[in-house]
């Protein structure tokens, strides 16, 4: 059984632990200084502790603290070359982390859907082991990228859930305006996005072909699609991702490689 220690059990570390607990094939150690964070995750971990030294027993250590304290946590860790350190910290380069540990380091950009096994993640090819691939597979879908693309990944799949929530909410509001109860409208909107996403992931056809398949001539969908095609909706989404990417780059400047 692979032993995984997660340091920092807040939003992201907690989602990682919950997702891996669902998988059931990992020994999970939750490490956090905050007793409330540990209490919140207790039922999903094999053990909880406030002692970062517990990470020495892990095969894989996940660093899930805020970027500005990553350096201080790394100073207190004493990992060996046999261990793998997975860093999730946005903007903190792989080199910055690797210079502060003997473990082999892989940098990933995950998202909170790890909790339900629906995470979209990007991982640096450098440092990516089969053990870590197994963890990422257990939590959802992942792609291997050059580290130079981490800022756009941070925007697309790290921040992306918020953009998805926004779009789902717009669909929900349309349903409510049409007379649906808010809970019903939310279920229909969210499940529709989920189904559409699943289709894009599993179907061989392109997005344009999939749209065509829903649009029958003179039907309802084409009427709605004409409105979207005539609008700047796609540009607004592209601008949102670009703004988040730009901000990721600014934050990353503080953690340049040594
Ligand atoms: N949230 C996301 O959607 C998301 C997505 C992609 C990547 N990330 C990355 O994931 C990392 C964590 O983000 P988050 O949103 O999960 O932050 P968070 O909710 O603040 O969680 C961080 C946790 O680490 C704890 N902590 C602080 N110092 C510690 C120490 N020395 N040793 C052990 N634990 C310590 C914090 O406790 P206190 O609250 O007491 O400080 C907190 O429980 C960040 O680097 C972020 O860039 C997050």
Least confident stretch, 115-129, 132-146, 163-177, 242-256: 242-256
Compute the half-sphere exposure of residue 1: CA atoms within 13 Å on the CB side of its CA.
14
- For ligand 1, atom 42: residue with the closest CA: 10
Q: What's the whole-number mean pLDDT along residues 124-142?
A: 97
Which ligand 1 atom sits nearest the alpha carbon of residue 15? 16
- Going along the chain from its start, the domains and CATH numbers come out as 2-150 (3.40.50.720), 160-244 (1.10.3730.10)
- Ligand 1 centre and the CA of 246: distance in Å? 22
- For ligand 1, atom 45: residue with the closest CA: 89
pLDDT in tens, 200-243: 999 999 999 999 999 999 999 999 999 999 999 999 999 999 99
- For ligand 1, atom 43: residue with the closest CA: 10
What pLDDT is stored for residue 17 in this prediction?
Answer: 98
The continuous run of DSSP H or E covering 2 comes out as strand 2-7
Least confident stretch, 13-17, 36-40, 216-220: 216-220
pTM, rounded to two decimals: 0.92
């Amino acid at each position: 059984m692979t032993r995984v220690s997660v340091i920092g059990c807040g939003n992201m570390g907690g989602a990682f632990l919950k997702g891996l607990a669902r998988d059931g094939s990992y020994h999970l150690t939750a490490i956090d200084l905050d007793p409330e964070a540990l209490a919140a995750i207790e039922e999903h971990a094999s053990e909880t502790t406030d002692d970062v030294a517990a990470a020495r027993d892990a095969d894989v250590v996940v660093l899930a603290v805020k970027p500005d304290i990553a350096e201080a946590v790394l100073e207190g860790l004493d990992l060996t070359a046999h261990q793998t350190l997975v860093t999730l910290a946005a903007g903190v380069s792989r080199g910055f982390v690797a210079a502060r540990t003997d473990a082999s380091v892989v940098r990933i950009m995950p998202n909170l859907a790890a909790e339900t096994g629906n995470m979209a993640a990007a991982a640096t090819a450098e440092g990516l082991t089969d053990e870590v691939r197994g963890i990422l597979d257990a939590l959802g879908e992942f792609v291997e990228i050059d580290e130079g693309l981490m800022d756009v990944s941070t925007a697309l799949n790290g921040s992306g859930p918020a953009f998805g929530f926004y779009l789902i909410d717009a669909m929900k509001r349309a349903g409510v305006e049409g007379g649906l109860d808010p809970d019903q409208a939310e279920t229909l909107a969210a499940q529709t996005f989920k189904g559409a996403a699943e289709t894009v992931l599993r179907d061989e056809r392109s997005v344009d072909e999939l749209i065509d398949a829903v649009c029958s001539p003179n039907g309802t969908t084409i009427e709605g699609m004409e409105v979207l095609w005539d609008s700047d909706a796609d540009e607004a989404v592209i601008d949102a991702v670009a703004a988040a990417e730009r901000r990721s780059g600014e934050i990353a400047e503080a953690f340049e490689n040594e």
